[in-house]
Amino acid sequence: MDILVKGGVLADGSRADVAIAGGIITAVEPRITAQAGEVIDATGKLISAPFVDAHFHMDATLSYGRPRVNASGTLLEGIALWGELKQQQTREDIVARALDYCRQAVGQGVLAIRSHVDVTDPNFRTVEALLEVRQRVRDVLDLQLVAFPQDGWYRAPGAEAQVIRALDAGVDVVGGIPHFERTMAAGATSVRAACELAAARGLRVDLHCDESDDPHSRHIETLAAETIRLGLQGRVAGSHLTSMHSMDNYYVAKLLPLIAEAQVAAIPNPLINITLQGRMDSYPKRRGLTRVPELRAAGVTVAFGQDCVRDPWYPLGSGDMLEVAHMGLHVALMTAPDQMRAAYQMVTDTPAQIMGLDFGLEVGKRASLIVLDAPDPIEALRLRPARLAVISNGRVVARTEPARCAISAGF
Ligand code: FE2
């Protein structure tokens, strides 16, 4: 045995030792006495599957303030700023920032990220840079790339050809942005084109879908219908879905079962949705986050994503998926104990499932897990504590000492 994690607590409250050999979990039992090359004392601490971020933009991360900050705080100004930045940045610049972010994320226990990569950069630097990054981090971090036509599948000249070029180069997933096309009809056509391309190539689909406060932005309906028509069930995700926040309840009552029937996953991004949406409202201001509890109740798979860290759309973010889940459960009013436990799953097991990863604390699975300085998932959400140990594919790749505060208040 290479590593023995001793005395930990699983998410269900049961005590467990975890044995690791050859990069695989070989035992999960209440007490393991065999010798190990390395013993990690996890007494009373939560042993968890790693954090997984199913929605990120690694080509833009850590670029905040370049060429200037987003003054309006809107999605559209962010897209315009990114349009300027992507003309200026070099491949080396993108690689350096992405690797910096990957190190920060791994330190927080994030061992898989699905990153959209803008393919509408005509010189293709973003794609080449992130393919290099995927290769360089692969032993530690699963980086899944989405061919994302940021400026529109049809609206940007040549974007469709660039999506195909990116897939040919090894990008994993078909992306899109139907609400940014010139018309609703063009948006619907782009959804169809993306799904047909994925079906022809046996790929997954993840569209930026209805990231809008417009209740009439209904591309998720087309995405679900195309998923069923093309037999893509279980391979398709709709990211954001913020327009659903503002839709008529009667229409949503029809829409939710359709999404469930199509097995289309939903990936809202709470930190970003709560800051980009509602910008044109006076009061009351809409929250923008999609209908998370209602989607879950309808049987839809829902994961929370990070989306942005210090980029043209968001000045904050830390790569900590507990911060993401913390915001998500607040905005979605998911404060019942079972809902908070679900929020924890929405940044661990559920995004792993959406991405098709074999993570999980079970014998025979990859030995990728984390030990947190908290006894259970709810305390982890409350405290967002140190990731005491991060193990990826059977190797300890990060450790964090818990911060200690000496109080001398005198009462
Ligand atoms: Fe995004």
Q: What is the mean pLDDT of residues 333-361?
A: 97
Cα(116) to ligand 1 centroid in Å equals 7
Over residues 103-110, the mean pLDDT reads 98
Say whether pLDDT at 110 is over 90.
Answer: yes
Homologous superfamily of the 51-355 domain (CATH): Metal-dependent hydrolases (3.20.20.140)
Ligand 1 centroid to residue 136 C-alpha, Å: 23
Q: How many CA atoms lie within 13 A of 178 on its CB side?
A: 31
Q: Taking 90 as the threshold, does the pLDDT of residue 276 lie above it? A: yes
Q: State how beta strands 173-174 and 142-148 pair.
A: parallel
DSSP state of 366: B
- Cα(229) to centroid(ligand 1), Å: 26
Task: List the chain domain ranges.
Answer: 3-49+360-398, 51-355
161-187 confidence digits (pLDDT tens): 999 999 999 999 999 999 999 999 999
Whole-number Å distance, alpha carbon 382 to ligand 1 midpoint, is: 26
Against a cut of 0.95, is the pTM above it? yes
Query: Stretch 23-47: mean pLDDT, rounded?
Result: 96
Quote the ligand 1 centre to 400 CA distance (angstroms): 29
Across 72-141, the runs of DSSP E, i.e. the strands, are 110-118
Residues 31/23, Cβ–Cβ less than 8 Å: no
CB–CB of 108/319 below 8 Å?
A: yes
Averaged pLDDT for residues 356-361: 95
pLDDT at residue 265 in the model? 99
Please identify every residue annotated as catalytic.
Answer: 211
Which residue matches tokens 């036509």? 149
Residues 254, 340: Cα–Cα separation, whole Å? 27
pLDDT at 129 over 90: yes
Q: How remote is the CA of residue 64 from the centroid of ligand 1, in Å?
A: 16
Q: Cα torsion for 191, 197, 198, 201, to the nearest 10°?
A: 180
> What's the pLDDT score for residue 122?
80
> Per-residue pLDDT for 121 more than 90?
no
Q: What distance in angstroms lies between residue 201's CA and the mean position of ligand 1's atoms?
A: 23
Is the dihedral angle over the CA atoms 227, 228, 232, 235 positive or is it negative? positive
Cα–Cα distances in angstroms (integers) from residue 398 to residues 72, 82, 110, 218, 265, in the given order: 38, 32, 11, 43, 31
Residue 20 CA to ligand 1 center (angstroms) comes to 35
Q: What is the mean pLDDT of the chain?
A: 97
Neighbours of 233 (CB within 10 A): 13
**Confidence check: pLDDT of 131 > 90:** yes
The structure tokens listed for 338 are 């079972």
The answer to whether the CB of 131 falls within 8 A of the CB of 169 is yes
Query: For the residues 58-81, what does the mean pLDDT come to?
Result: 93
| Distance, first Cα to last Cα, the chain | 49
Is the pLDDT score of 92 beyond 90? yes
Query: How far apart are alpha carbons 70 and 63 in whole angstroms?
Result: 12
pLDDT category of residue 123 using cuts at 50, 70 and 90: confident
- Please list all protein residues whose beta carbon sits less than 5 angstroms from ligand 1, which is an ion: 307
Question: What residues have CB less than 8 Å from 107, skipping those under 6 apart?
Answer: 319, 387, 390, 398, 400
Report the separation in Å between the CA atom of 115 and the middle of ligand 1, taken as the mean of its atom positions.
8
- Classify domain 3-49+360-398 by CATH number: 2.30.40.10
**278 vs 286: CA distance, rounded Å:** 5
Interval 371-388 mean pLDDT: 98
> 154: which residues sit within 8 A by CB, 6+ positions away?
160, 181, 182, 186, 189, 190
* Å from CA of 225 to ligand 1 middle: 22
284-323 tens-digit pLDDT: 999 999 999 999 999 999 999 999 999 999 999 999 999 9
Residue 66's Cβ-side half-sphere holds a number of Cα atoms within 13 Å equal to 15
| Cα 37 to ligand 1 centroid, rounded to whole Å | 42
Lookup: tokens for 95:
């690689």
Within 10 angstroms of residue 196's Cβ, the number of other Cβ atoms is: 15
pLDDT at 87: 87
Looking at the chain, how many residues does it have? 411
CA 375 from chain centre, in angstroms, equals 24
Averaged over 233-256, what is the pLDDT? 98
Distance 129 CA to ligand 1 centre (A): 18
